[in-house]
Amino acid sequence: MLSLIVNEKPVAVKAPEATPLLWILRDHLGLTGTKYGCGVAMCGACTVQIDGEAVRSCITPAGDVRGKRITTIEGLGGEHPLQKAWIAEQIPQCGYCQSGQIMQAAALLSVTKAPTREQIIEQMDGNLCRCGTYNAILRAVERVAREGGR
């Protein structure tokens, strides 16, 4: 039995320790906001936060995150400043990459109150968007930083 802390709640899951965290979240806990994209940590669709750090859940063994705080897009709630900025900048198109993008940006904003454009680009590098909304994503992160949101 794996004991984990997901979105500030303790959970117990019957699964092998080597099971990728992505599948624990989606299949065992029903948290389907975290997406499967590539399975090799190259696209960022599966990004969650582990103790506040952006991590690719598709390659993270669940046994490695015992005792750590796992936060998914569901854990941000529906009123997070980034989610509001995403809507204001009209980013969502297909939406597949959005939760990973938001979790990556939230990790940056949690440690850097006023990131430069270059810091945002560096942080977001590797989170792929098939719809090509990169400029809008950049504007959304800059908006949240400018408005002092996290």
Q: For the chain, which residues make up each domain, given as ranges?
A: 2-75, 76-147
| CATH H-level, domain 76-147: superfamily | [2Fe-2S]-binding domain (1.10.150.120)
Q: What stretch of H or E contains 87?
A: helix 81-88
The pLDDT score that the predictor gives to residue 150 is: 63
CATH of domain 2-75: 3.10.20.30
Alpha-carbon distance of 22 to 32, in angstroms, equals 9
pLDDT tens-place values along the chain, 150 residues long? 999 999 999 999 999 999 999 999 999 999 999 999 999 999 999 999 999 999 999 999 999 999 999 999 999 988 899 999 999 999 988 889 999 999 999 999 999 999 999 999 999 999 999 999 999 999 999 999 999 876
**DSSP track, 99-117:** HHHHHHHHHHHHH-SS--H
And the tokens for 89? Answer: 């900048």
**Beta strands of the chain (E only): which ranges?**
2-6, 9-13, 47-50, 53-56, 69-71
